[in-house]
Chain A
Amino acid sequence: MSGRRAVITGLGVVACNGIGVDEFWQANREGRSGISAIDAFDTTGFASTIGGQVRGFDPARYMPADTAKRVDRFVHFGLAGADMALAQSKLNVAAEDTERIGVIIGSGLGGLLFHEEQMVAAFDRGLHRINPSAVPRISPNAVASQIGIRYGFKGPNLVISTACASGANAIGEAFRKIQHGEVDVCITGGVEAPLTPFNFAAYCSMRILSKNNGHPAEASRPFDAARDGFVMGEGGAVLVLEEREHALKRGAVILAELTGYASNSGAHHMVIPDAQGTDGARVMAAAMRDAQISRVDYINAHATSTKANDAAETKAIKIVFGADAKNIPVSSTKSMIGHSLGAAGAIEAVACVQALREQFIPPTINLTHPDLECDLDYVALKGRSANIKTVLSNSFGFGNCNVALVFAAAQ
């Protein structure tokens, strides 16, 4: 490799348990759930009626009111995240070569909300009444394009769509672009706005969402014997990823470093993960090889709270670390915010960077009775202080897309 290193100099996050890094991290430290009964649409008749709905989020605080009106909710999350991350990074865009700044964002579903609204309008009012901005609003790449337009970033501009691995994949590919010298800065992350009637119904049909509707905050319970599916969430996170020398030269505060990335495919089934965990193990091992390390101090697991994932991921961790697996703290921040699909890997990246900065591991809440197949140290119920220099973050998506990222403390 070229020797070009990539560091994180800015973070922005919109999640159901906190908007902005401080609020989000405080909630994670305290083990506060953001799951509630969905009221974004009428859930009458749905098997699951709970989700990680973002509340109190005013898009116009982060972008011109005119823009806020013309983009889908998934783009709101991206523009808000970029606004926060760029502010923290103190990157002076006017002084930068904007052709050397890229934007790579992950989204599994794109502008689904507006898509659905327009489909309904088309059938109700006629096909000639489709909003002329439908195509550019619905397109998954609208999020990266709108960030590029807003700040004038003229480097590579991409959206990566690998289902629930999208956000992590985007961050990993941004890492490669920096390493390869294609860009000096990359605005990267993941966003998703999946709480729409059609999409929610489609996931309900798959019977993979938790039906613990009476106890929303307790519904996402990764590794617990009583887990009954994942809780769908929405939100997004954006990172300013920057070539290390570039960051040092402008005197930026380095929050953490991204040192390893790998992605692979199980080539197995669109929805069912490999039960033995071998694909997950392969991707974790490859990311650690990339980072040139053989052990990590903390694993932020994919851990969706589904029967299949949590058991397979536990097996995967054991394959990679052997007997040492039991000594490595593993936690699921999805226990607090649910699974925000294409945004998950990016929101978890924020949690990983914060864990490194604050030397604190966020908990897996609701883990009161661990599944017999899940027997690692999951930092159950309460977070804890720990000496952590490296963090591994897993993201596994439908279509057997697997991604692992390795973050290291700033040095």
Chain B
Amino acid sequence: MTNLEIEQKVKEILSKKLDVEPGKIALETRLAEDLGVDSFGAVELMFEIEEAFGLKIPDSEIEHVRRVGDIVTYLQGWLEKQPKV
């Protein structure tokens, strides 16, 4: 999966979950301030992302997520560490 594909998939999940047009979600979009995601909402969002990508995101990482880009960066880093087939 390329970085762009990751980004698109994250935006797609956010758009569906939060009922926001995909065009309104950019890497710099803030989850709390711009999308109204509270701390519970952030955990719910991570569940969706974990399911979609098949990974487990540690709580310590969830606490650091502020912007959409933070999620994408984390996933890119995670994917790079995966054994290449």
Contact = CB atoms under 8 A, between A and B. Distances in A.
A131 B43 CA distance: 8
B53 interface: no
Interface in A55-92: 66
Nearest to B47: A129
Contacts of A129: 47
A98 B57 CA distance: 43
A133 B44 contact: yes
Contacts of B43: 131-132
Interface in B12-46: 36, 39-40, 43-44
Residues of A in contact with B, size category:
under 10
A399 to B, nearest CB: 33
A133 B47 contact: no
A271 to B, nearest CB: 37
Contact of B44 (A66, A125, A132): A132
Contacts of A132: 39-40, 43-44
A299 to B, nearest CB: 46
Interface string A31-43: 0000000000000
Contacts of B40: 131-133
Question: Main SS of chain B's interface residues?
Answer: helix
Contacts of B39: 132
A133 B51 CA distance: 18
Nearest to A128: B56
Residues of B in contact with A, size category:
under 10
B47 A66 contact: no
Interface in A109-136: 125, 129, 131-133
A316 B39 CA distance: 53
Contacts of B47: 129, 131
Most chain A beta carbons < 10 A, residue from B40, B43, B44, B51: B40
Interface string A323-346: 000000000000000000000000
A61 B2 CA distance: 42
Contacts of A131: 40, 43-44, 47
Nearest to B43: A132
Interface string A192-224: 000000000000000000000000000000000
A66 B38 CA distance: 11
B69 to A, nearest CB: 23
B41 to A, nearest CB: 8
Contacts of B51: 125
A129 B43 CA distance: 9
B58 to A, nearest CB: 11
Contacts of B36: 66
A133 B39 CA distance: 10
A281 B39 CA distance: 52
Interface string A254-265: 000000000000
Contacts of A133: 40, 44
B60 to A, nearest CB: 15
A132 B37 CA distance: 13
A405 to B, nearest CB: 38
B33 to A, nearest CB: 15
Nearest to B42: A132
Contacts of A66: 36
Interface in A131-148: 131-133
A125 B51 CA distance: 10
Contacts of A125: 51
A194 B15 CA distance: 32
Most chain A beta carbons < 10 A, residue from B39, B43, B51: B43
Nearest to A131: B44
B51 to A, nearest CB: 8
B25 to A, nearest CB: 17
A401 B3 CA distance: 62
B59 to A, nearest CB: 10
A132 B39 CA distance: 9
Interface of B: 36, 39-40, 43-44, 47, 51
Given A125-B51, A131-B47, A132-B43, 10 more contacts: A66-B36, A129-B47, A131-B40, A131-B43, A131-B44, A132-B39, A132-B40, A132-B44, A133-B40, A133-B44
13 contacts: A66-B36, A125-B51, A129-B47, A131-B40, A131-B43, A131-B44, A131-B47, A132-B39, A132-B40, A132-B43, A132-B44, A133-B40, A133-B44
Give me the 7 closest cross-chain CB pairs, A-B, nearest first.
A132-B43, A132-B40, A133-B40, A129-B47, A131-B44, A66-B36, A132-B44
